[in-house]
Structure 1
Amino acid sequence: MTEAARRKPGTPCWVSLMAHDLDATREFYGALFGWRFQPGPQQLGPYLRGLLDGEEVAGIGQHPGDRGLPTAWTPYLASDDADESAESIRCSGGTVAVGPLDAADAGRMVICSDPTGAVFGVWQAASHLGTAVAGRHGTPVWNELLTQETEAVGKFYKTVFGYELEPLASADADVDADVVTLRLDDRPVASLHGVGTALPRDRGAHWMTWFEVADADDAARRVAELGGRVVEPPRDGPRGRHATVADPEGAVFTVVRSAGDR
């Protein structure tokens, strides 16, 4: 399925990883997801775009060690005006770390964090609209913010991007879960998950990218074979069978076989 249209502001439109060893990271994700690579904009240093059958999926860049950015997958949220979004982020208690700046003719970008410290990007598209394929092995399928609690940070994202906030009804959960779905035009686009003291102290609040795979168990095994590690083993959940894994540099992500694919 192609995703060629310009996204509504607030829609996750791209995911990007900043890695220390670009060559080794390219080999890992190429073997895991079947991506091939081509050069992308170099404003923050060497950068590659991962492709499936020539369609852009995600980006991997060389980690700029002097900017304080984590080695982590970062979602980018669409914007019609990156400068205006950056100002709204600042005024709402967030922090702008990089930009706004032009990424050649591809678009205009910002890297920032919400009031809890979770890093995300803002993307004002020009020639590059973002991820161009979905629903296949190796494509991003969901983004979830793991944070201590959702009430305050939910107000931040609603103010900046205009999301409708839909708390998870207690009847829909096996336990009393603090989960809020972010919706645009009555369509779910991302979620917030308050995990309280279970939030990793070494990572703090962070966005988690979920990638579609043909088989979650096989993908988790493959991660370990390629030098990564399994953080949480495969298990079934509302979104399908999934596992939390980390690449060889420690960047954490989730692999999922969506429930609708069974």
Structure 2
Amino acid sequence: MTEAATATRHTPGTPCWVSLMVHSLGTTEDFYADLFGWEYVPGPEQLGPYVRAVLNGQEVAGIGEMPPDRHLPVAWTTYLATDDADVSAEAIRSCGGTVAVGPLDGGDAGRVAICSDPLGAIFGLWQARGHMGTQQPGPPGTPVWNELITQDTSTVGKFYQHVFGHEVQTHASGPDDFDYLTLQLGGRPVAAIHGVGRSLPHDRGPHWMAYFEVEDTDAAAARVEELGGRVVEPPREGIKGRVATVADPEGAVFTVVRSRRGD
């Protein structure tokens, strides 16, 4: 990552980091190193066995290992930036959400919390300190988009709007029953909420989906299977470009995307 003095602080409400807690850290490191070209540096000692993924000198994501006695679902977590994690945590509670962990001190990372919105989708809060999180998305292997998959957009749209100050814009194109909101800050889209009604996966519930840039969506999906993962939804054309939803060998689901130029 760039030096702290030159790293850009994320506007509050912007997705600023993604992290993953797994049962086998070494095996997961190997999977993503092959798929995305990641290298790794040690993370904060306070987080236990934890590494930060590095691409072209910039830190792009975190991977940690659960204690042996923990059997939590393995899933990517999207973190939203805040200037004050404690104030944001109180706003989350007052708007019907839940704060499950923290806020707590994460060393040079700053102050963090794990929360959920009123319909149960888990996300993180991050008040950055020396480590600013993922910088400007760019090359393949970097997280480039985050999208909330939930039952409907109305309730949670208001939640994120009130807690983080997002401007909500309804997606204009597509069929009339396409339930999709873009969350904007300063007129710039930073994330989205996709209401899928009864099509929500029963084994996952509402969840934030992390998108990672790739050079070739079809080739990346095929490589996931070769590395012991699986394809959840095959390559297709989506709003952000050509996408495929995949899962790593421990079952963490994410999306690979070949973004359209100009998005």
TM score, norm. by length of structure 1: 0.95
Q: CA deviation at 1:259?
A: 1.1
Kindly report which structure 2 residues correspond to 1:216-235, keeping only aligned pairs within 5 A, or say none. Answer: 216-235=217-236
Long gaps (5+) in structure 2? none
Letter in 2 for 1:77: L
Q: What secondary structure does 2:133 align onto?
A: coil
Distance 1:182 1:28 in 2: 31
Q: CA deviation at 1:46?
A: 1.0
1:5 partnered with 2:47: no
Q: CA deviation at 1:105?
A: 2.3
Kindly report which structure 2 residues correspond to 1:109-258, keeping only aligned pairs within 5 A, or say none. Answer: 109-169=112-172, 172-174=173-175, 176-258=177-259
Q: What secondary structure does 2:47 align onto?
A: coil
Distance 2:158 2:136 in 1: 31
Q: CA deviation at 1:127?
A: 0.3
Distance 1:209 1:65 in 2: 26
Q: CA deviation at 1:168?
A: 1.3
Q: After the TM superposition, which of the residue ranges 132-141 and 21-30 deviates more from structure 2?
A: 132-141
Distance 2:247 2:112 in 1: 26
Q: CA deviation at 1:238?
A: 2.4
Q: CA deviation at 1:97?
A: 1.1
Distance 2:171 2:148 in 1: 15
Letter in 2 for 1:189: V
Distance 2:45 2:163 in 1: 28
Kindly report which structure 2 residues correspond to 1:89-108, keeping only aligned pairs within 5 A, or say none. Answer: 89-108=92-111
Deviations 1:111-159 (A, max 9, x none): 1111111010000010000013522110001000000001001111111
Distance 1:25 1:133 in 2: 24
Deviations 1:91-120 (A, max 9, x none): 111111111111112211011111111010
Q: What secondary structure does 1:14 align onto?
A: strand
Q: What secondary structure does 2:239 align onto?
A: coil
Distance 2:69 2:94 in 1: 25
Q: CA deviation at 1:66?
A: 6.8
Aligned length: 260
Taking a change above 3 Å as real, the CA distance of residues 8 and 36 of structure 1, as seen in their structure-2 partners, is same
Contact 2:8/2:135 (CA < 8 Å) preserved in 1? no
Distance 1:32 1:90 in 2: 38
Taking a change above 3 Å as real, the CA distance of residues 64 and 136 of structure 1, as seen in their structure-2 partners, is same
Distance 1:219 1:210 in 2: 13
Deviations 1:27-59 (A, max 9, x none): 000110000001111323211000012210100
Distance 1:162 1:143 in 2: 17
Q: What secondary structure does 1:260 align onto?
A: coil
Contact 2:170/2:182 (CA < 8 Å) preserved in 1? yes
Deviations 1:168-225 (A, max 9, x none): 12xx104520000000001000000000000011110000000000000000000000
Letter in 2 for 1:129: M
Contact 1:55/1:133 (CA < 8 Å) preserved in 2? no
Taking a change above 3 Å as real, the CA distance of residues 54 and 84 of structure 1, as seen in their structure-2 partners, is same
Q: CA deviation at 1:248?
A: 0.3
Match of 1:56 in 2: 59
Percent identity of the aligned residues?
66
Q: CA deviation at 1:4?
A: 2.7
Match of 1:35 in 2: 38
Distance 2:148 2:71 in 1: 20
- Over the aligned positions, Cα root-mean-square deviation in angstroms equals 1.9
Letter in 2 for 1:120: F
Distance 2:183 2:73 in 1: 24
Distance 1:188 1:132 in 2: 16
Q: What secondary structure does 2:209 align onto?
A: strand
